[in-house]
C-alpha cells in the first residue's frame, strides 16, 4: 500500500522526471505516482492531445521549433497544477523557461542513463523523432544528444539517479528513497513498493 501525499503539501508535492529518451521516465513515473496516490501526467501525451497527431508527425510537418513552442506551454501548465508526478519529454530541458519552471515549481529527478544503455533499450523504437535521423548510427546520435543534454538535466534536477540496468521496481524504490530522505514525501509505512 502506498503513501498518499495530500495535494495541499505545496508545490514541491509535484515531482517531475527528466532524462534522455528511453531512460524510463514514463514507466517509473507511473509507478511512483501509483505508490504515492498522486495523478500521473506525461507531457508528451498532453502535447499529442493538443496537436491532434503524433509527435513524430508534428516534427515532420511543423519542425522541431514549433514542437518546442507547444512543449513549453504544456510544461508551464503542468508545473502550475496541484500535486502530481510528471514525466517530461527528453528535450524539455532544452529551453531555459522549461528548466526554470521545472526547478522552481517541482522536485526534479534526473533518470540518468548512458548512451550505450539507451541504445540497447531503444534499438527497435521507431517513434522517437530525434532518433530517426538518417545518419545510420543511433548510438552516435544518442551520444551527441547526451553530451548536449546531460549538463542541462543536471542543472535542472535536485536528484540524479543512475539507471544502469536495475529493474523498474529498483528504480522506483531509489526515487522514493531520495524523495523521502529529502522530506518531499512522507516516509512509507510498510515493506516498500510492491512489484508492478
- The string of pLDDT tens digits covering residues 58-92 is 988 999 999 999 999 999 999 999 889 999 999 99
148-176 residue pLDDT tens: 999 999 999 999 999 987 789 999 999 99
Indicate the pTM of the whole model: 0.85
Q: State the Cα–Cα distance between residues 96 and 144, nearest whole angstrom.
A: 19
User: What is the reported pLDDT for 4?
Assistant: 41
Q: Which residues contact 171 (CB under 8 A, 6 or more apart)?
A: 24, 28, 111, 161, 163
What pLDDT does 52 receive? 96
pLDDT at 165: 75
What value does the mean pLDDT of the chain take? 85
Alpha helix stretches (DSSP H) within the chain: 25-36, 43-51, 55-62, 64-78, 96-105, 115-122, 138-156, 168-181
User: Above 60 in pLDDT, residue 13?
Assistant: no
Model confidence at 135: pLDDT above 50: yes
The answer to which of 25-29, 129-133, 160-164 has the lowest mean pLDDT is 129-133
Q: Are 8 and 21 in contact (CB under 8 A)?
A: no
Q: Hey, what's the cell of 157?
A: 534536477
Quick check: 108 pLDDT over 70?
Answer: yes
Report the pLDDT value the prediction gives residue 44, as an integer from 0 to 100: 95
**pLDDT at residue 72, rounded to an integer:** 98
Which CATH topology does 9-181 take?
Rossmann fold (3.40.50)
Residues making up the chain, counted from first to last:
196
Is the model's pLDDT at 196 over the cut of 50? no
DSSP, residue by residue, 131-151:
G--TTS-HHHHHHHHHHHHHH
Amino acid at each position: 500500500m502506498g503513501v498518499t501525499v495530500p495535494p495541499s503539501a505545496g508545490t514541491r508535492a509535484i515531482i517531475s522526471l527528466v532524462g534522455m529518451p528511453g531512460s524510463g521516465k514514463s514507466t517509473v513515473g507511473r509507478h511512483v505516482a501509483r505508490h504515492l496516490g498522486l495523478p500521473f501526467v506525461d507531457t508528451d501525451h498532453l502535447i499529442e492531445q493538443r496537436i491532434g497527431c503524433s509527435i513524430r508527425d508534428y516534427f515532420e510537418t511543423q519542425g522541431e521549433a514549433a514542437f518546442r513552442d507547444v512543449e513549453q506551454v504544456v510544461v508551464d501548465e503542468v508545473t502550475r497544477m496541484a500535486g502530481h508526478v510528471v514525466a517530461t519529454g527528453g528535450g524539455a530541458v532544452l529551453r531555459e523557461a522549461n528548466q526554470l519552471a521545472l526547478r522552481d515549481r517541482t522536485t526534479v529527478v534526473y533518470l540518468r542513463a548512458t548512451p550505450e544503455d539507451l541504445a540497447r533499450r531503444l534499438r527497435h523504437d521507431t517513434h522517437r523523432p530525434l532518433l530517426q535521423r538518417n545518419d545510420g548510427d543511433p548510438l552516435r546520435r544518442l551520444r551527441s544528444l547526451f553530451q548536449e543534454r546531460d549538463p542541462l538535466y543536471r542543472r535542472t534536477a535536485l536528484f540524479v539517479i543512475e539507471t544502469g540496468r536495475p529493474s523498474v521496481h529498483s528504480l522506483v524504490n531509489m526515487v522514493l528513497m531520495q524523495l523521502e530522505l529529502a522530506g518531499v514525501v512522507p516516509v512509507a509505512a510498510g515493506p516498500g513498493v510492491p512489484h508492478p
